[in-house]
Amino acid sequence: MSCTVLVYAETSGSVAGDRARPVSSRPSLPDGHWRDFGIRLTELADRLAERGMRLAYHHHLGTVVETSAEIDLLMAATGGSVGLLLDTGHLAFAGADPADIAWRHRARISHIHCKDVRPGMLARARATDMSFLDAVLDGVFTVPGDGAIDFTAVLAALKAADYRGWLVVEAEQDPGRAPPLVYARRGFVHLSAAVREAGW
């Protein structure tokens, strides 16, 4: 299909799809397992590279790679063929600064999901230890420009790395409360303005 990027996430034991389990009950990868995980993931990425595709690892709430520290461990444990999918909404929910991660790992970023977070709903999701799906249905995520993330700062890091991939406007939302076309247009307009402001 002429794809240049394959999005991959380790979802073994993930709680992201289980409304009965809060995000805090997610699985973790013991310290001694990062090396083997990195070796196997790099092997997969190398095989994809032979076919002209770059692996973009998707850190994701409710999985073994969710936090800033876990992203750092993943990048340290894997070879350069393993790219990083930067998901701004998942980073903010996990307590990380998307711009900081973008600067730290800018050379490895191979795909981007641009979604925003609503601060009030994020605070409620954390305070009540919601499940991922309940937080989504409550409206924690939204499109760029409808929340609190500074996309210009994120894009500045990507510009410095000469990023040439996709900027995907994304927001898991209840379509009954957030009409998809209305929000997609809103996100596109805001992101386009942020691209210009970042000097692209």
> Residue 1: pLDDT band by 50, 70, 90 thresholds?
confident
Q: Which amino acid would we find at residue 150?
A: D
Sheet holding 5-8, edge to edge: 5-8, 54-58, 82-87, 109-114, 167-169
pLDDT of residue 80: 97
Name the nearest CA neighbour of 196 among 166, 162, 164, 156. 156
The answer to whether the Cα torsion of 31, 36, 40, 45 is positive or negative is positive
Encode pLDDT of 54-77 as tens digits.
Answer: 999 999 999 999 999 999 999 999
> Residue 2: pLDDT band by 50, 70, 90 thresholds?
confident
Position 31 pLDDT exceeds 90:
no
Domain boundaries, the chain: 5-197
* Architecture of the 5-197 domain: Alpha-Beta Barrel (3.20)
Encode pLDDT of 101-115 as tens digits.
Answer: 999 999 999 999 999
Helix, strand, or coil here: 8?
A: strand
Given a contact cutoff of 8 angstroms between Cβ atoms, the answer to whether 6 and 84 are in contact is no
